[in-house]
Amino acid sequence: MSSPSYEPRSDVDLSVPSAARAYDYFLDGAHNFAVDRAFADQVLDIAPSVPAVAKLNRSFLRRVVKFCLDQGIRQFLDLGSGIPTVGNVHEIAQQVDPASRVVYVDYEPVAYAHARQLLSGNPFATIVQADIRDPGTILDHPETRRLIDFSEPVALLMVGVLLFISDEDRPGELVGRYRELLAPGSFLAISHIASEEAGPELQAEVARLVGAYAAADEHVYVRTREEILGWFDERTSLVEPGLVCLPDWRPDNPSEASSPARLLGYGGVARVD
């Protein structure tokens, strides 16, 4: 069976808001345009918790990278990396070991362009513009091959990205296709939006958020903890504390524990056996 082909978008269309650039705006980043801010402001009106969730997610990513570095990992494949803003994976990793290697992947032209600019002159970090639904292109890409040695442990980061993958595109199988290439001792990190533990007001916010993204032709899928848990297969072991609300994963900032947005996302990391 042949895989569908997913051509990365090559155009920067400033008349259409982008999820990546709106996310950058929610993180107080500078890589967004008027069309993105207008869209983000509409989202804020109907779902004011979104920037808090974005920040909790980014903070989870930072702790995951530090955890992986502590476990001796020096290779990172970051799928759906977004626009490089402060506290990026390569900054954290290369602070600990300047020879840490990082391959970012995003299909968004502005994320790609900014990352290229930011990473020029960095021999150990790069970005590949590709759709994560096309693992072959990413894994065979010369830049991935240049920096990642799949015979050694790798941290595979799927943080805040699988919410953009529809059920038809089978996110669990997709995770599996990357997972099967990872050497024992690798780590797989996933975070995802959720709302099942939240009260009715927050659930309504999430439903309105999904509607707003759909209207902008950027579909967001909310999943249950059980569904996300199913993407970690039997050949991986979740590290403590398992798949939990984002600020509960190896917390290092007590103020996040009381964030009202804490119930709107799960994160977990598994070791590849």
**Interface ranges with ligand SAM (CB under 6 A):** 19-20, 23, 57-58, 61, 80-82, 106-108, 111, 131-133, 159-161, 164
Amino acid, single-letter form, for residue 164: F
| Residue 245: half-sphere exposure toward Cβ, Cα within 13 Å | 16
Interatomic CA distance for residues 123 and 126, integer angstroms: 8
Q: Which helix (H) or strand (E) holds 235?
A: none
Q: What is the closest distance, in whole angstroms, from the C-beta atom of residue 195 to ligand SAM in the complex?
A: 16
CB of 134 to ligand SAM, least distance (A): 8
Helix (H, G, I), strand (E, B) or coil at 106: strand
Which phi and psi angles does 214 have, rounded to 5°?
-60, -40
Residue 203 CB neighbours (<10 A): 16
Angle between helices 34-46 and 200-215 (to 10 degrees): 150
Of 240, 248, 237, give the one whose Cα is nearest residue 272: 237
Q: Which is nearer to ligand SAM, 26 or 235 (CB)?
A: 26
Q: With CA atoms as reference, report the closest residue to 59 among 255, 196, 219, 242.
A: 255
DSSP state of 7: P
Q: What single-letter DSSP state applies at residue 162?
A: G
